[in-house]
Structure 1
Amino acid sequence: MNAARWLVAGILAGVLVLLILFGYGLAKQREGDTLEQGARIVSVGGDVPIEPHPAPDFTLKGFDGKQVKLSDYKGKVVIVNFWASWCPPCAEEAPTLESGWQKFKNEGVVFLGVNLWDDPQNAEQFIEDNDLTYINGTTKTGTATEYGLTGIPETYVIDKNGQVIRRWRGPLTDHELANLVEAGLSSK
C-alpha cells in the first residue's frame, strides 16, 4: 500500500509539473502571439538602440481625408507612432502623444500617427475618444516592415535631416516622449 501511495503521488507530481510547464508555454506563446500582418501588442518596452539611417518615406492617408508625405516635413522633427484601436497600450499612451503634440507643435515638431490593421470606423472612434488632433491615418502595408516594426505601439524619431535617430517600443510616458523629442531637436 505504501508503494502504491508513492506511485500515485509521483504521478500526480509529474502531472502537476507538466501542467505548470504547459501553462508557462501558453503564456509565452500569448506574449509573442502574432496578430494581423505579424504585429504584436507591446505592453512593456523602452528605448531600442539603432544606428541612425534615412527614414523610409511614406504617404499617410489621413482620416480627415488629407494626404501627407513624410518627406513634406524635412527640416522638422517628426514623431511617427504606429498604433491600432484594439491595442490597450496604444490607448494608454494616446493622451501622452496628444499632450506632447500640444507642447511641441510650435517648436518645429510634427506628430504622425500611423494606424495599422484596423477597421477605419474603430480607428476614427479611437481618435475621437482620445481627442487626438495631430495627423493620423493609414499607409501602405509595407511601411511597418520598412521601419522594422516589431509590435505596437512603437514610436520613431526622425530628425530635421530625415534620419531615424531613435526608436521606442511600447507605450510612452510624458517624460519619455519629451526626451525623444529633445533628442530630435538637438540632433545635428
Structure 2
Amino acid sequence: MATAAVYCSSCLSPLFPSFFMQIDKQQREQLQQAYRGELYGIAFFSTMLAGFRDWDAMGRHRHAFELLLQVERVTAAQLERQLPSFGCVCQPHDEEMAAKGDADASRWLNLSWESLIDTMVDWVAPYQEVYRQQRVKAEQHHSPMTELFHLVDEHETAIYCYLLAQQRNEANATQILSDFIARHHVAC
C-alpha cells in the first residue's frame, strides 16, 4: 500500500524529504566532529605518553595510555574509511585539534595518577552521554550512519568504563580497552 506524501500547505513542497535531509546533514556534522575529537584524543594521549611523570613501577599506567591512544587511532581509522561514503571529508592532520589535545594534556602532565583518573572521569562523562544520545537518535531515524554512531558511542563508553574501573582500582580495567580494540581494529 502506497503512502501519501505530506505537503506544506503554504508552499506545496514535501515536508519529510527536507526533514530527513536536515537530519542527515546534522548527523554528518556530528560524525565529522566526532572524527575531529579522535584527532584531539590522539594528540592528547600522545602528549601524555611522552610527558607523564607518575608511572608506576609495573608500567601499568603507561600500558593504559598506550591502549587509550590505540582506541583513538582505531576509531579514527574506522571513521576515515567510512565517512567519505557519506560525503564527509576526513583530514587526518587537523592542526587545531592537535594543538588543543597537546595543550590540554600538557596542563595535566604533573597530576598524580589518581588525580588524573578523577579529572578524566569528569571530563569524559558528558561526551559519553552526548555520543549515546546521538546513537539513539540515529537508531530512531533509521539513519544509514547508525553503524558509525554505534562505533563512536562504543568508543567513548569503553574509555569511560575503563576510567570508572580504574577509579575502583579494578585489576583488569585495561581489558575494557583491549576488548574494544580487538572488536574494531582493521589491519591497514
Normalization by structure 2: what TM-score? 0.30
Q: Which has the higher contact order (CA 8 A, sep 6+)?
A: 1
Which one has the bigger helix percentage? 2
Which one has the bigger strand percentage? 1
Task: Please identify the structure whose Cα radius of gyration is greater.
Answer: 1
Normalization by structure 1: what TM-score? 0.30
